[in-house]
Amino acid sequence: MASSLHWPTAVVVLAAVLLVGLLRWVAGRGRRRGFLSTVDRVTYQTLHTASLASRHLSDGLTPDAADKAGRHLLSILGARAVAICDGAGLLGWTGPGEHHGPDAHAHASATRLSGTLTVLGSDVLTCSDPDCPIRSAVIAPLLAEGKVVGTLTAYAPAASAGLARATGELARWVSAELDVAELGRTRTRAMEAELRALRAQISPHFIFNSLGAIASFVRTDPERARELLLEFADFTRYALREGGAFTTLAEELRNVERYLVLEQARFGERLQVSLLIAPEVLPVRVPYLAVQPLVENAVRHGLATKEGIGHVTITASDQGSETEISIEDDGVGTSPELVQRILDGQSRADSVGLGNVDARLRQVYGDEFGLVVETAVGAGTRVSFRVPKYAPGVHAD
Amino acid sequence: MTQTFSIIAVTLVCLTTVAVGGLGLRLSRRTSDFYVAGRTVSPRLNASAISGEYLSAASFLGVAGLIYDEGVDLLWLPVGYTVGYLVLLVMVAAPMRRSGAYTLPDFAEARLGSIGIRRLAALLVVAIGWLYLVPQFQGAGLALQLVTGAPQWVGALIVAVVVALAVGAGGMRSITFVQAVQYWIKLTALAVPAFVLLALWMRSGSATPEVPVSWAEPFVAVSGDDHPVYRSASMMVALCLGTMGLPHVLVRYYTNPDGVAARRTTVTVVALLGAFYLLPPVYAALGRVHLPSLPTGVRSDTIVLQLPGQVVEGIGGDVLTAMLAGGAFAALLSTASGLAMSVTGVLHQEFIRPRLARLTGGDAMGFGGFRVAAAVAVIIPFGLSRWMEPIGIATTVGFAFSLAAATFAPLLMLGVWWRRLSRAGAAAGFIVGAVAATAAATATVVAAPLSGWAGALLANPAAWCTPLAFSVAVVVSLATPGSVPRDTTRVMVRLHTPERIHLDHSRLID
C-alpha cells in the first residue's frame, strides 16, 4: 500500500491543501475584523489611533514621545500641523510648515500663563509663503496634577469652533495619559524606596542583641568573639550593599547562615536549625534579601517568645522548572487573620518585611508566586514561596 | 533460568526507579551542617549525571546492533555521540549558562525577547522529546521480548507506565546524585560482560570474524546505490549539532554555578562518554565471531543481549544476560524519565497551565495539570513507538538528532555568536528546519524502503536540512534588520563576559 503511493503527487496535494487552509484562515481573520457601519469604523479608528498615541506617552513629555504621539494626534484632530511644547521650548512639530517651529513656544505663552484655551488668528500668524497652511492656531494646555506642564497646539488655515473643542478635549485626554505615566513612575519609585527601606531594616534589636552576645564572649572566648564580629561585618556588608536587585540562592543562604550564627551566639542551644537544601537549586536567582527577613521572622516571632528549645527548618527543593523555598518554625504561631492583614499591607505591626517580600515576589514573578503562610496560634508557622528558575529580565549581578 | 534472573534484574530496576520517584526530595541530601550553601554540585558529579541521563537504549543496545549490521562505517556512530559534546563545549555551554535560561524555550526568549519564538521552541522540544522517547520504548520491547519471550508491546508498556508514575508522582525531578549513579551502573553492566566475553575469546584462540568486504572496509557500499560516505557524513552532522538540542541534557547545565563550571562539566562528559562508547564495538565484533548470522525475525538490536548466552554456558551466561538486561532497562528508564520530565515540564508550563488558569480563573495551582501533562507526554510516544516499530532504534534516534540539529543548532549557534540575528530570521530558520527534517523522517517511515539518493537523503536529512535552516535564518535576518531585538548588544555582553568580570564596575575581581 505504502509503495504504491506516488510521492510527488502526495506532496503537491498536501501543499495545496495547506495553502487553501491558510488562505481561508487569513480571509476569515479579515472578515471578523469587518464593521457594520461607517460610525462603527470611525469610532474604531479614533480609539485605535488614540491607543497608539497613548503607548508613546507612557514615558511622559519627551521630544521622542512628542514626535511619535504627534503623528497620531494630528490624524485625530484633522488639523494641518500639531506642535507639542513643554515649559522650556518646542518638543515636537508634526506636519508641514515647520519653519514656524521656532515660534511655537512663543505662540503658547498666553495659554501657559492662563491655563486656558487660546485661539490665534492670521493677524498673529503671518507668513511670507502664500501656500503655507499655518494661518491660525488653537492652543490647549496640558495639565499634570492641576499644573500646566506643556501645551498642545493645532495649526490650520482657519480655526473653527469644532477644531477648538476637539483640541481642548484631546489636550485633556493627553493630560490624563501623562498622569497615568506619572503614576507608573511613582509606583516604580515607591517599590525601589521600599527595597531600600528593607535593606536598611536590619532590626535595631538584632544589632543590639548581636553586639551584646559578642561582648559576652570577649573575655571568656576571644577567638569566638572575633569570629562573630567578622560574621557581623559580613552580614551588614551584604545587607547594606549597593547593586542589583537579584542574587543567587547560594549567596542569600550564605547570608542566612551568618545571621543564624549570630543568633545562635545569643540563644545557644535553644535555637536548633536544620537546612535541607537541594544542591541543584543553589544557582537559582532570587530577589535580594528574600529569605533572610523570613528567617528573622521565624526566629523572632516563632522562638524568642517561646520557652524551651525551638527548631527552624529551612528547605529549598527542586521542582522542575521552579524552586520551592520554605521556612518552618515550631514556635507560638499566630492567627491567620493577622497574617492576612500583614500581607494586604493593612498592618505593618512587628513583622519583619513579610509584606515587603510578598510584594516584591509578586511584582517580579507575577501574582501566582506570592508568599504562602501556613500558621495557627500555638501550631508553629510555615512560610514558603516558589521561584521560577528562569524569568525574563531576572539576572544576578 | 535466564528468564528468572533477567526478570528479577528488570523488576529490581523498575522498582528502584518508582521508589526514587516517590521518595523525591527525601533522597536529596539532608544535612543540618552550616555552609551547605557553598556546596554547589561539582562539575564531576554533574558530568556523571549528564552522562547517566544521556546514555540511552540506543547507546546500550542500538549502537552495537548497527555496527554488527553495517560494519566499520558505523564506528563513526559512537564517535558522533561523544563529539556532539565537544561542539557543545566550544560553542554554547558557557554562554547558555550565563544567559540564565533553564530550558531551550527560555534561551529563545532570553535572546530574542519573543513569546512567539518561545512557543515555537517549546513545540520543538516536545517533538524532539517524543521522537527520542520512541526508541526507548522500542528498546524496552526488544529487551523484554528477548529475555522473557513477551510480545514487544509489553516491555514498552511497562517502561511507559513506570516513567509516567515516576514523573507524575513529582519525583525523578533532577536528583543529580541518582542520575550520576545511573551512569556508573550502566558502565558496569556493559563493561563486566564485555571483559568476560573478551577474556573467553582470547582463551579460545582469538578467532577473527568472517565478514564480507563491505563490513570490514570503510565506505564500501553494500549495493551499488548506497552512498555510504554521504550517510556517514550526514549522521555525523546530526550527532555533532543535535546534541545541543536535546532538552533533557541542557536543563542539567543549569545546575552548574557558572560558565566555567559548565565548560568543566562538558569536558568530563566527553571523557565519561568516550569510556562508555569503547564497549559497543566490542559486542559488535564479538557478535560477528560467535553469531555470524542472526535467525530470521531477530533484530540486530538484540545482539548485546544474545551474546552472553551464546558464549557462556550455564548459570554464568544467565547472570551476564540478566546484568545486561538490567543495565538496558536502567538506561531506558533514566533517559526516558529525563525526557518525559522535560516534555512534561514544557507541556505543563507552556500549554496546559495557561489554559487551566484561564478556565479556573487563575486558581489552578494544583498538581492535576502536571499529571495530565505527564500522561500526555508518555502516551503519545508510546503510540508512535507502535507505529514506527519496523525502524531500528538507532535510526529513530538519528531522526531526533536530525530534527534537533536542523532547529536548535541554528537558533543556539547564531543566537550565541551572531549579533544580527533577527526575530523573523530565527523563526524562519526554525520553521524551515523543522518542516524539512520532519518531512524527511515521515517520508522514510511511510514509504520505506527507499533506495538510491532519495533513500539516503531522506534517511539522513541532517546534512541538507541543517545548512538549509542556517542559510534561511541568515538570509531572512539580513533582509529584516528591523526585527533584530533592541537589547541584542546587552544580551550578547552578558552571554560572553566571564563571571569574574563585574559588569557594573568593569573591573577584575578575583
Phi, psi dihedrals of residue A82, rounded to the nearest 5°: -130, 135
Note the pLDDT of residue A39: 83
| HEC sequence for B252-279 | HHCCCCCHHHHHHHHHHHHHHHHHHCCH
Select, from the ranges A51-55, A328-332, B407-411, the one with the highest average predicted confidence (pLDDT).
B407-411
Phi, psi dihedrals of residue A244, rounded to the nearest 5°: -65, 170
- Among the ranges given (B158-172, B250-264, B267-281), the one the predictor scored with the smallest mean pLDDT: B158-172
Residue A269 belongs to domain with CATH number: 3.30.565.10
Quote the minimal CA–CA distance from B344 to chain A in Å. 10
Note the pLDDT of residue A349: 57
Percent of chain A with pLDDT over 70: 90
If asked whether residues A359 and A237 sit together in one domain, one would say: yes
- Global ipTM: 0.81
Note the pLDDT of residue B309: 82
Residue A395 forms part of a structural domain: no
- Specify the residue for cell string 566499520: B72
Q: Which residues of A touch B100 (CB under 8 A)?
A: 285, 390, 394-396
Strands (E), A107-206: 118-120, 136-144, 147-156
Asked if pLDDT for residue B97 goes beyond 50, the answer is yes
Asked if pLDDT for residue A35 goes beyond 70, the answer is no
Q: How far apart are CA B400 and CA B407, in angstroms?
A: 11
Q: Is the pTM of this model over 0.90?
A: no
Domain hosting residue B251, numbered range: 2-24+40-390
Of the three residues A158, A192, A226, the one that is the final residue of a domain is A192
Task: Locate the chain B residue with the closest alpha carbon to A276.
Answer: B30
Q: How far apart are CA B235 and CA B252, in angstroms?
A: 25
Residue A72 forms part of a structural domain: yes
Of the three residues A175, A192, A209, the one that is the final residue of a domain is A192
Sign of CA dihedral B58, B64, B69, B72: positive
First to last CA, chain A: 62
Q: CB within 8 A of B227, min separation 6: which ones?
A: B221, B453, B456
- Specify the residue for cell string 573591573: B507
Query: Each residue of B222-236: pLDDT tens digit?
Result: 655 677 888 888 989
Residue A206 forms part of a structural domain: yes
A253 lies within 8 A of chain B by CB: yes
Are B174 and A280 an interchain contact pair (Cβ–Cβ within 8 Å)?
Answer: yes
Q: What average pLDDT does the segment B364-379 reach?
A: 76
Note the pLDDT of residue A347: 63
Quote the minimal CA–CA distance from A131 to chain B in Å. 37
Q: Which of B420, B400, B422 is nearest to B138 (CA)?
A: B400
Pairing of the two strands A310-319 and A271-277: parallel
| Structural domain count, chain B | 1
How much helix, strand and coil, in percent to the nearest 5, is found in chain A?
Answer: 55, 20, 25
Q: What angle do CA B202, B203, B204 make, to 5 degrees?
A: 90
Q: What average pLDDT does the segment A54-61 reach?
A: 79
Query: Each residue of B400-434: pLDDT tens digit?
Result: 899 999 999 999 999 999 999 999 999 999 999 99
- Specify the residue for cell string 497615568: A180
Percent of chain B with pLDDT over 90: 21
Q: Which residues of chain B from 93 to 132 reach within 8 Å of chain A, CB to CB?
A: 100-103, 106, 109-110, 113
A260 lies within 8 A of chain B by CB: yes
From the list B28, B39, B254, the residue facing A283 with the nearest CB is B254
Element (DSSP H or E) covering residue A327:
strand A322-329
Given pLDDT bands bounded at 50, 70 and 90, which one contains residue A1? Answer: very low
B25 lies within 8 A of chain A by CB: yes
If asked whether residues A73 and A51 sit together in one domain, one would say: yes
Residue A168 forms part of a structural domain: yes
If asked whether residues A123 and A221 sit together in one domain, one would say: no
Residue B68 forms part of a structural domain: yes
Separation in Å, CA B308 to CA A27, B4, B196, B209, B279:
65, 16, 9, 17, 14
Q: Which residues of chain B from 136 to 175 reach within 8 Å of chain A, CB to CB?
A: 170, 173-175
Are B103 and A248 an interchain contact pair (Cβ–Cβ within 8 Å)?
Answer: no
Note the pLDDT of residue B237: 92
Note the pLDDT of residue B164: 85
Q: How far apart are CA A350 and CA B66, in angstroms?
A: 70
- Among the ranges given (A202-206, B31-35, B309-313), the one the predictor scored with the smallest mean pLDDT: B31-35
Interface test with B, best of A321, A326, A372 (most B CBs within 10 A): A321
If asked whether residues A187 and A294 sit together in one domain, one would say: no
Note the pLDDT of residue A95: 83
Q: Is the preceding peptide bond at B95 cis, omega within 30 degrees of 0?
A: no
Given pLDDT bands bounded at 50, 70 and 90, which one contains residue A154? Answer: confident
Q: What average pLDDT does the segment A72-93 reach?
A: 84
From the list A261, A367, A390, the residue facing B102 with the nearest CB is A390
Residue B279 forms part of a structural domain: yes
Given pLDDT bands bounded at 50, 70 and 90, which one contains residue A160? Answer: confident
Give Dmax (Cα) for chain B: 74
How would you label A193-225 residue by residue, b for 16+ Cβ within 10 Å and e otherwise?
Answer: ebbeebeebbeeebeebbeebbeebeeeeeeeb
Answer yes or no: are the C-beta atoms of A370 and A385 closer than 8 Å.
yes
More confident residue, B450 or B291: B291
If asked whether residues A55 and A121 sit together in one domain, one would say: yes
If asked whether residues A384 and A283 sit together in one domain, one would say: yes
Residue A13 forms part of a structural domain: no
Interface test with B, best of A282, A315, A317 (most B CBs within 10 A): A282
Are B103 and A275 an interchain contact pair (Cβ–Cβ within 8 Å)?
Answer: no
Are B349 and A321 an interchain contact pair (Cβ–Cβ within 8 Å)?
Answer: yes
Note the pLDDT of residue B117: 92
Residue B381 forms part of a structural domain: yes
B256 lies within 8 A of chain A by CB: yes
Q: Which residues of chain B from 293 to 352 reach within 8 Å of chain A, CB to CB?
A: 341, 344-345, 349
Interface test with B, best of A280, A324, A372 (most B CBs within 10 A): A280
Note the pLDDT of residue A2: 45
- Specify the residue for cell string 523525591: B24
Q: CB within 8 A of B462, min separation 6: which ones?
A: B234, B235, B237, B238, B241, B242, B401, B402, B405, B406, B437
Residue A64 belongs to domain with CATH number: 3.30.450.40
Task: Locate the chain B residue with the closest alpha carbon to A278.
Answer: B28
Note the pLDDT of residue B222: 63
Grid cell, residue A85, equals 511644547
Q: Which residues of B touch A260 (CB under 8 A)?
A: 34
Q: What average pLDDT does the segment A136-159 reach?
A: 85
Answer yes or no: are the C-beta atoms of B303 and B69 closer than 8 Å.
no
Q: CB within 8 A of A228, min separation 6: which ones?
A: A210, A213, A214, A217, A261, A262, A265
More confident residue, B74 or B1: B74
Residue B375 belongs to domain with CATH number: 1.20.1730.10
Of the three residues A136, A161, A192, the one that is the final residue of a domain is A192
Residue A16 forms part of a structural domain: no
Q: What average pLDDT does the segment A175-201 reach?
A: 78
Q: Which residues of A touch B258 (CB under 8 A)?
A: 283
More confident residue, B361 or B329: B329
Given pLDDT bands bounded at 50, 70 and 90, which one contains residue B297? Answer: low
If asked whether residues A251 and A306 sit together in one domain, one would say: yes
Asked if pLDDT for residue A200 goes beyond 60, the answer is no
Asked if pLDDT for residue B389 goes beyond 70, the answer is no
Residue B130 forms part of a structural domain: yes
Quote the minimal CA–CA distance from B262 to chain A in Å. 12
Strands (E), A29-135: 81-86, 90-94, 118-120
Q: How far apart are CA B286 and CA B304, in angstroms?
A: 10
Quote the minimal CA–CA distance from A263 to chain B in Å. 13
Query: Each residue of A11-23: pLDDT tens digit?
Result: 788 888 888 888 8
Instruction: Give the full edge-to-edge strand order of the sheet including A90-94.
Output: A90-94, A81-86, A147-156, A136-144, A118-120
Q: How far apart are CA A341 and CA B128, in angstroms?
A: 48
Note the pLDDT of residue B268: 93
Asked if pLDDT for residue B153 goes beyond 70, the answer is yes
Percent of chain B with pLDDT over 70: 88
Query: Each residue of B1-21: pLDDT tens digit?
Result: 567 777 788 788 777 766 765
- Among the ranges given (A126-135, A153-162, B212-221, B326-335), the one the predictor scored with the smallest mean pLDDT: B212-221
Asked if pLDDT for residue B261 goes beyond 70, the answer is yes
Q: What average pLDDT does the segment A288-299 reach?
A: 87
Q: Which residues of chain B from 479 to 498 reach within 8 Å of chain A, CB to CB?
A: 494
Asked if pLDDT for residue B505 goes beyond 50, the answer is no
If asked whether residues A181 and A311 sit together in one domain, one would say: no
Domain hosting residue A144, numbered range: 44-192
Asked if pLDDT for residue A61 goes beyond 60, the answer is yes
Q: How many residues make up chain A in this entry?
A: 397
Q: Which of B378, B341, B377, B54 is nearest to B172 (CA)?
A: B341
Note the pLDDT of residue B341: 85
Q: How far apart are CA A38 and CA A45, in angstroms?
A: 10
Note the pLDDT of residue A31: 56
Given pLDDT bands bounded at 50, 70 and 90, which one contains residue B195? Answer: very high
B223 lies within 8 A of chain A by CB: no
Q: In one letter, which amino acid is B350? A: E
Quote the minimal CA–CA distance from B311 to chain A in Å. 41
Note the pLDDT of residue B224: 58
Phi, psi dihedrals of residue B98, rounded to the nearest 5°: -70, -25
Note the pLDDT of residue A206: 80
Residue A25 forms part of a structural domain: no
How would you label B374-399 residue by residue, b for 16+ Cβ within 10 Å and e otherwise?
Answer: bbbbbebbbebbeebeebbbbbbbbb
Count of CB atoms within 10 A of residue A97's CB? Answer: 19
Note the pLDDT of residue A130: 76
Pairing of the two strands B507-508 and B501-502: antiparallel
- Specify the residue for cell string 489554559: B355
Quote the minimal CA–CA distance from B497 to chain A in Å. 12
3-class state of residue B32 by DSSP: coil
Q: What average pLDDT does the segment B265-283 reach?
A: 92
Answer yes or no: are the C-beta atoms of A271 and A264 closer than 8 Å.
yes
Count of CB atoms within 10 A of residue A26's CB? Answer: 10
| Structural domain count, chain A | 2
Note the pLDDT of residue B276: 93
Q: How many residues make up chain B in this entry?
A: 510
Note the pLDDT of residue A230: 92
- Among the ranges given (B199-203, B286-290, B311-315), the one the predictor scored with the smallest mean pLDDT: B311-315
Q: Which residues of chain B from 461 to 480 reach within 8 Å of chain A, CB to CB?
A: none
Q: CB within 8 A of B335, min separation 6: which ones?
A: B53, B54, B55, B56, B57, B132, B136, B248
How would you label B153-184 residue by residue, b for 16+ Cβ within 10 Å and e otherwise?
Answer: bebbbbbbebbbbbbbbbbbbbbbbbbbbbbe
Asked if pLDDT for residue B510 goes beyond 50, the answer is no
Query: Each residue of B40-72: pLDDT tens digit?
Result: 778 888 899 889 888 887 788 888 888 888 888
Query: Each residue of B100-128: pLDDT tens digit?
Result: 888 899 999 989 988 899 999 999 999 99
Are A273 and B32 an interchain contact pair (Cβ–Cβ within 8 Å)?
Answer: yes
Are A279 and B40 an interchain contact pair (Cβ–Cβ within 8 Å)?
Answer: yes
